[in-house]
Amino acid sequence: MNTSDCSQQSEDFQRIEKAIQFIEQNFKSQPSLDQMAQSVHLSKYHFDRLFKRWAGISPIQFMQFMTLDYTKKRLVESKSLLETAMDAGLSGTGRLHDLFVTFEAMTPGEFKKQGSGLQISYGVCDSPFGECLLATTQRGICYFGFVASGERSETFGQLFDTWPDSEFIENPTAVCSIVNHIFRINHQKSAHPFNLQVKGTNFQINVWKALLNIPKGCVVSYQDIASYIGHPKAFRAVANAIAVNPVAYLIPCHRVIAKSGKIHQYRWGSARKKALIGWEAVRSA
């Protein structure tokens, strides 16, 4: 996926996100294609074309991945897949889009320094899910988050608050090449891993490592993750750890949903979480 592809998909996502929000607000009435299109000020023909360009399928087909019947079924199916991954001892590295994600936590000494002496390059880029902010050190990606409309300062604040004593250097060219690589559809020819450098408590680190084992296109519950890290009753603490995940998509916290099958509670918006789950479901079908 090149820069122009990302820019087009980012632009398309602005309307798709609004359409998903409209569906969230009117889910009881099961909006028609006409109503979805009207909510983003397009004809149903233009909306259908835009959606297929972004997702690869029609909006009606895409929304089927958002139904409770579908998510409940996927919760049951995904649980056994996650068990297999955990039993295989993959908690150190995870497969994502045929690439490895390597995970490095800061040492207690580095944690205390609050990033002092650390040089961080960062930039805002386009992605298939709107604007995103990515930051990286010499050792790997230390932050990756999506930028909600009109909330750039809040997103920057999340990065700067995580690494308060670091030196920040704006370098969008270098950073955007990483983002383009993350969302490239065909990764088979690349053997380079995505290296992550994160900061968190031991419990948070264990939760984030567990998330790496959730296969693409699958969803699991907070209770499932709690069980697989050996703390079956700590699902609320697991939810809190997931809520502060500093690396979106690569640490796939969007693949964790309520055991009821509902898709909500996402740091970067429930509509984006639904878009991520549906987008991956299409590509893994």
Question: What's 91-140 look like in SS3?
Answer: CCEEEECCEEEEEEECCHHHHHCCCCCCEEEEEEECCECECEEEEEECCE
Grade residue 149 by pLDDT with cuts at 50, 70 and 90: confident
Mean pLDDT, the chain, integer: 86
Q: For residue 61, which amino acid is it?
A: Q
Distances (CA, A) of 154 to 132, 145, 162, 175: 12, 11, 12, 19
Q: What DSSP state is assigned to residue 265? A: -
Q: What is the pLDDT of residue 85?
A: 67
**Which pTM was predicted?**
0.89
Grade residue 281 by pLDDT with cuts at 50, 70 and 90: very high
Distances (CA, A) of 196 to 23, 94, 135, 185, 268: 35, 12, 10, 20, 19
Residue 282 burial by Cβ neighbours in a 10 Å radius (0-12, 13-18, 19+): middle
pLDDT mean over 148-169: 87
164: how many CB neighbours lie within 10 A of its CB?
9
Minimal CA–CA distance to 276: which of 145, 140, 175? 145
CA atoms within 13 A on the CB side of 185: 14
Q: What is the pLDDT of residue 50?
A: 96
Tokens 């004593």 belong to which residue?
Answer: 165
Residue 142 is a catalytic residue? no
Q: Is the pLDDT of residue 95 over 70?
A: no
Residue of 125, 142, 176, 253 marked active site: 253
Of 48-57, 67-76, 149-158, minimum mean pLDDT range: 149-158
Distances (CA, A) of 25 to 20, 38, 150, 189: 9, 14, 21, 42
Q: What is the pLDDT of residue 90?
A: 46
> Where do the DSSP E strands lie in 177-275?
194-198, 220-221, 256-257
Q: Is the pLDDT of residue 186 over 60?
A: no
Higher pLDDT, 111 or 144: 144
